């Protein structure tokens, strides 16, 4: 009888713990995949202005089947909005920083050729949109080429205009699963990345 009572108590305790165990699983399934790295060479805390690394594409767009140019427009708008929230002003006159974005995509075998890309870059959404980024990474700790990220990873880069070296990079692994995503989805992804960017100087 005592053994049966102990088993019954154990069963009751286990049943009470089930909701807690399930909630724990739900929480861990939403692990934040957003990260960032920065160069020790120059602090962003003294910078106030920015512009796009390439304001317009330097080559004709070459979208593959299934991709939409609307993603590019959504990304440009969302990044500018979030940079403004961080206190940065966009200017074409001697900006303190240059900004570029990218999305890692699968490399078609026919285009997997090193001569097609700039230093440190692989096949990407920005490349298909006609952008040909060519800046260095200054041996930044934790740096990876774009094509080494998980497919769909959204990347935002901040570059020194004078040295053409990467100063800061933020990304969210595998964030873009739908290249026709609406602005609201894109804005949320960009916001999670730019939150990690140091705020602009108040001086």
202 inside domain: no
Interatomic CA distance for residues 103 and 88, integer angstroms: 23
How many CA atoms within 13 Å lie on the side-chain side of 13? 6
53 inside domain: yes
**Are 58 and 6 within one domain?**
no
**Are 27 and 38 within one domain?**
no
Residue 22 backbone phi and psi in degrees, to 5: -65, -40
Q: What's the CATH number where 78 sits?
A: 3.30.160
* 101 bridge partner residues: 156
**Are 120 and 71 within one domain?**
yes
Residue ranges of alpha helices (H) inside 141-181 are: none
Residue 17, pLDDT score: 41
155 inside domain: yes
Domain that holds residue 15: 1-31
Which of 194, 154, 193 lies closest to 173 in space, CA to CA?
Answer: 154
**Are 91 and 20 within one domain?**
no
At 152-168, the pLDDT tens digits run: 899 999 999 999 999 99
> Which H/E stretch holds residue 50?
strand 49-52
Residue 126 pLDDT > 90:
no
Residue 40, pLDDT score: 83
**Are 27 and 94 within one domain?**
no
Q: What angle do CA 37, 39, 40 make, to 5 degrees?
A: 125
Residue 20 pLDDT > 60:
no
Interatomic CA distance for residues 186 and 175, integer angstroms: 9
User: Domains in the chain: how many in total?
Assistant: 2
Interatomic CA distance for residues 201 and 181, integer angstroms: 33
Residue 112 pLDDT > 80:
no
């Amino acid at each position: 009888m005592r053994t049966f009572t102990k088993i019954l108590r154990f069963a009751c305790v286990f049943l009470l713990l089930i909701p807690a165990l399930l909630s724990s699983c739900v929480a861990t399934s939403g692990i934040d995949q957003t990260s960032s790295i920065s160069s020790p060479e120059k602090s962003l805390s003294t910078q106030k202005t920015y512009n796009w690394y390439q304001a317009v594409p330097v080559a004709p767009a070459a979208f593959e089947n299934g991709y939409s140019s609307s993603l590019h427009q959504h990304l440009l708008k969302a990044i500018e909005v979030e940079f403004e929230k961080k206190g940065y002003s966009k200017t074409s006159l001697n900006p303190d920083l240059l900004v570029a974005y990218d999305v890692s995509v699968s490399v078609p075998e026919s285009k997997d050729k090193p001569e097609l890309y700039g230093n440190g870059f692989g096949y990407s959404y920005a490349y298909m949109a006609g952008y040909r980024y060519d800046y260095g990474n200054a041996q930044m700790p934790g740096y990876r080429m774009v094509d080494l990220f998980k497919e769909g990873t959204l990347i935002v880069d901040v570059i020194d205009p004078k040295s053409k070296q990467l100063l800061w990079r933020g990304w969210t692994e595998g964030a873009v699963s739908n290249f026709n995503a609406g602005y609201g989805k894109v804005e949320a992804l960009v916001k999670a990345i730019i939150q990690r960017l140091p705020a602009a100087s108040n001086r």
